[in-house]
Amino acid sequence: MTGSPGSFIVVEGIDGCGKSTQAELLAIRLGALLTREPGGSPLGIEIRRLLLATEPDEVSDRTEALLMAADRAQHVADVIRPTLLEGRSVVGDRYIGSSVAYQGHGRGLDVDEVRDISEWATDGLAADLVLLIDVSVATAGRRRSDAPDRIEAAGEAMQHRVREGFLSEAAANTDQWVVIDGDRAVSEVAQSVNETVRARLGQ
Q: Give 84-110 pLDDT, tens digit per residue.
A: 999 999 999 999 999 999 999 999 999
Distance between CA atoms of 65 and 78, rounded to whole angstroms? Answer: 20
List the domains of the chain with CATH numbers.
8-201 (3.40.50.300)
Mean pLDDT of 39-56: 85
Whole-number pLDDT of residue 145? 67
pTM: 0.92
Distance between CA atoms of 97 and 57, rounded to whole angstroms? Answer: 24
Mean pLDDT of 154-179: 95
CB 99 within 8 A of CB 111: no
Q: How confident is the model at residue 6 (pLDDT cuts 50, 70, 90)?
A: confident
Whole-number pLDDT of residue 3? 42
For residue 125, give the nearest of 35, 62, 51 by alpha carbon.
35
CB 37 within 8 A of CB 71: yes
Count of positions (residues) in the chain? 203
CB 161 within 8 A of CB 41: no
